[in-house]
Structure 1
């Protein structure tokens, strides 16, 4: 700092001494406390309380004024400076404001907006205001050994494999004959979300590069949105797990021929699976109750 100030003085660059801080390892910048020793960004508690109060108010309404929605978006944008994955759940609020010019005009809160409000409220109720710096490099499946795959047969299901641990999920029998069994993008997304539900904490504070053998799903994961309401029912919990564990993710396409282990699990080809992964655990991972509930309670109307 002393050397920098001397250079500025020599060059005639004015410095506002009343705004000059440091050198320090903890600094408040743009309302966020940045701790370089513990590698943590902290959001003030009063900001969290204010946002939770605003969300609780808006989620009960059928319509909201442009002014109130702009206030919400401003608050959420502030949080997303620290919680980058949350940006996916601001986009629809911006879209809803398009074409509305007067601050007192009302905007209808549709099902998608309400679901995003609920997602933020659920996250903030369990948020301690701290988020760790993410890793500087991307981590791919070749390092993580994280692979997922799905089948299109209701007699089978989907599977995921992660560093010796694995899980198999059987498609619900009441999906038989529904259009959802023909939606391979939705089916391929199920084990991706299941992986985050089970192993998300082990991936905390990482930049994860998912290798997926479905091009449509790659696009959806990167955009974090879809016009398909059933796909969005899974994208929301996927991004929620990313927010809760401070994970930044990106998807790239990989040929299915490189996904043999997960393919064997999804098809219940256990002998082939053991040959491909001889060091895998003997027993599969338990599936969280909340994941079971979200899948089995999925409405198949118009599917």
Structure 2
């Protein structure tokens, strides 16, 4: 710092002393507290409360001006600097804001924009305002020993470092999983990934995870954080919220099904074969959350 100040002085660069701080391990920059000891970024509680108040106010309206919409978008974009997964839930606000030209023109708040704001509201009310610095290097499913798979109308399974689950499809989901259309395939491939995140997400803190999946539609949905199918979008919301709460980020890549031996056994409910492949795995499976919990629609809470 002393050398830097000397250089500025010799170059006649004016420095505002009231805005100069150092050497410290915690500093507030653009309204965000950065802590190099705890390796985390924090939003002040008053800013969180202000954003919650803005969203509550907006959800009472049927329409607003473009200026007001851009204002709430600005608040959510600010929060997204700390909570990276939240960026997925501002796209509808951006699209809606482009529907009129003048700032004073009114815009009707559609269901998609309301769902985005409800998602933010649900998260902000239970978030402590803290996010860890993510690791710079992406970690693959193989490196994490994380594998998931779904098998037709039989079931779904997942494995993570010796822990595992293997379940038949719940009766209410069996019809969804029997359908041969691409939406159904994407749904059932995404389902065990969400279950794995709910079970083990607290162990993935600060990680940049790359989920492996043998369905390209599911890979695209995960990477875009979007789907036109309401049921799939419910799973996407659960996954994003889990990532936000547990401080990890994710993407996906395509992997041929024949390379997923462990997950294949679990999704086909072939437990003896799985135990032969992984003799060191735990003897008993993890307790899987019920489908009502997995498919909980966060936007109506």
TM-score, normalised to structure 1's length? 0.90
Structure 2, unpaired ranges of 5+: none
Deviation at 1:294, TM superposition (A): 4.5
The answer as to whether partners of 1:159 and 1:166 remain within 8 angstroms in 2 is yes
Q: Distance in 2 between matches of 1:71 and 1:181?
A: 43
Q: Distance in 2 between matches of 1:193 and 1:295?
A: 7
Q: Which shows bigger deviation, 19-28 or 61-70? A: 61-70
The answer as to whether partners of 2:177 and 2:185 remain within 8 angstroms in 1 is no
Match of 2:166 in 1: 168
Match of 1:38 in 2: 38
Residues 1:218 and 2:219 are matched in the alignment: yes
The answer as to whether partners of 1:180 and 1:186 remain within 8 angstroms in 2 is no
Q: Distance in 2 between matches of 1:295 and 1:166?
A: 17
Q: Distance in 2 between matches of 1:138 and 1:296?
A: 28
1:76–1:297 distance in 2 versus 1, CA, 3 Å: closer
The answer as to whether partners of 1:67 and 1:103 remain within 8 angstroms in 2 is yes
Deviation at 1:3, TM superposition (A): 0.9
1:215–1:121 distance in 2 versus 1, CA, 3 Å: same
Q: Distance in 2 between matches of 1:239 and 1:296?
A: 13
Match of 2:232 in 1: 231
TM-score, normalised to structure 2's length? 0.91
The answer as to whether partners of 1:181 and 1:187 remain within 8 angstroms in 2 is no
**Residues 51-71 of structure 1, C-alpha deviations (whole Å, 9 max, x = no match):** 111222222333333222211
Deviation at 1:284, TM superposition (A): 1.3
The answer as to whether partners of 1:85 and 1:246 remain within 8 angstroms in 2 is no
Deviation at 1:295, TM superposition (A): 5.3
The answer as to whether partners of 2:28 and 2:34 remain within 8 angstroms in 1 is yes
Q: Does the residue aligned with 1:250 lie in a helix, a strand or coil?
A: strand
Q: Does the residue aligned with 1:28 lie in a helix, a strand or coil?
A: strand
Match of 1:51 in 2: 51
Q: Distance in 1 between matches of 2:174 and 2:285?
A: 25
Q: Distance in 2 between matches of 1:296 and 1:79?
A: 26
**Residues 86-140 of structure 1, C-alpha deviations (whole Å, 9 max, x = no match):** 1001111111111312334332333322222221111111111111111222121
Residues 1:6 and 2:14 are matched in the alignment: no
Residues 1:158 and 2:156 are matched in the alignment: yes
Q: Distance in 2 between matches of 1:263 and 1:295?
A: 21
Deviation at 1:227, TM superposition (A): 2.1
Match of 2:276 in 1: 275
Q: Which shows bigger deviation, 207-216 or 157-166? A: 207-216
Q: Distance in 2 between matches of 1:108 and 1:99?
A: 10
Count of aligned pairs: 294
Match of 2:81 in 1: 81
The answer as to whether partners of 2:152 and 2:177 remain within 8 angstroms in 1 is no
1:248-287 → structure 2 map (5 Å cutoff)? 248-287=249-288
